Structure 1
Amino acid sequence: MDKQIRQRVSMLNPVHFLAFGFGSGLAPKAPGTFGTIAALPLVAALALYTSLPIYIAITIIASVVGIWICGITANDMQVHDDSSIVWDEVAGMLITMIAVPLSWQTLLLGFILFRIFDILKPWPISYLDKNAHGGFGIMIDDVLAGIFALGGIHLTLFMGWL
């Protein structure tokens, strides 16, 4: 993030703090990966200490509110979908792990699958990434990557491969 953009945002602003994935999006290299890593303790805490309906409700709220969080931060930065905005990765990782039994193996597989879909962006993820705008545009490709990864991890579990 260049100096001019850095002056328009603040980690003291709770919206920016969340958009930057609790600061993980400010990593100089691979901020999306660091944003996904930052989501792992949240995923684990929700999986261990809440019920599935509460986990799903929090995931939906994180995804819907993420449209606003990412949109406000992008507007404040005056840059669409800056790589430091990683709340979409947090929401995508929450989606990936819906109803997945928690273990280090499932967390690792979920992380890998989500990053693959987020980076490669197969259709229709790539279409929405290019054609959706604002906070919705920032969020939707990672929401879909999370849904694809969710399908992949559940297929893996169903087939007994993990």
Structure 2
Amino acid sequence: MNPHVSDIPYADLGPDAPVRVTAAFMRSHPAHWLALGFGSGLSPAAPGTVGTLWAWLSFMVLDLWLTDLHWAVLLPLAFVIGWWACTVTAAHLQVNDPGSIVWDEIVCFWTVLWFVTPAGPVGGLSVLWTQLCAFAWFRYFDAVKPGPIRWADARFKGGGWRGGFGILFDDVVAAFCTLLVFALWRFW
């Protein structure tokens, strides 16, 4: 059993059993708070979608105070710290890429919103409508995992730092594909 899990009261599930994701688990380590999206990953249904919605809401609040320079610093920092948090949390859960880890959706959707929001309306649409379209495309790419996203998802499977990066990497590709859709939309 993972030695870091031994201090969690419900972690005596056996050496091969994954740990259940609960509020108690989330509170047991700072990395869990971040990786589980401050609780949004605890959703019993569609935690990735709930995490993306949390990302959208938190972006709307943070964007009131953050400038483009702040976002340019925050996003890479959030990725690196998230890499650590996802690695630690996946190890504690004893699962390579648990669905309850939603920091990947959060940091990548923040990136999408940062790119599409300052540009204002797309094709005469309001900013909110633009963000809704970004949400729909990002969720499509993240959930369905067409071509390049499926490749990225399979590329870094496993435990440790490589696996922690892999948790984030397929969402980076999903964010890129979402931004590509917007670039093509604006081009035409």
TM-score normalised over the length of structure 2: 0.75
Moved more, 81-90 or 95-104: 95-104
Q: Which has the higher contact order (CA 8 A, sep 6+)?
A: 1
Given residue 71 of structure 1, which amino acid in structure 2 is its aligned partner?
T
Unaligned runs of 5+ in 2: 1-9, 14-18, 119-126, 158-162
Tell me the percent identity: 40
Which of 111, 116, 126 matches 2:140?
116
Given residue 155 of structure 2, which amino acid in structure 1 is its aligned partner?
N
Q: Does 1:6 align with 2:20?
A: yes
What is the distance in 1 between the residues matched to 2:184 and 2:95? Answer: 37
CA 1:147–1:7 in 2, change beyond 3 Å: closer, same or farther?
closer
Contact kept, 8 Å, 1:92 with 1:114, in 2: the verdict is no
Residue aligning to 1:100: 116
1:68 Cα deviation from its structure 2 partner: 1.0
CA 1:14–1:31 in 2, change beyond 3 Å: closer, same or farther?
same
Contact kept, 8 Å, 1:95 with 1:150, in 2: the verdict is no
Q: Does 1:143 align with 2:172?
A: yes
What is the distance in 2 between the residues matched to 1:7 and 1:81? Answer: 13
Which stretches of structure 1, 4 residues or longer, exceed 4 Å deviation after superposition? none
Given residue 61 of structure 1, which amino acid in structure 2 is its aligned partner?
L
Residue aligning to 1:153: 182
Q: Does 1:28 align with 2:52?
A: no
Contact kept, 8 Å, 1:98 with 1:150, in 2: the verdict is no
CA 1:91–1:7 in 2, change beyond 3 Å: closer, same or farther?
closer
TM-score normalised over the length of structure 1: 0.86
Which string of whole-angstrom CA distances, capped at 9 and with x for unpartnered residues, describes residues 18-44 of structure 1? 111111111111111001011112221
Unaligned runs of 5+ in 1: none
| Secondary structure at 1:99 match in 2 | helix
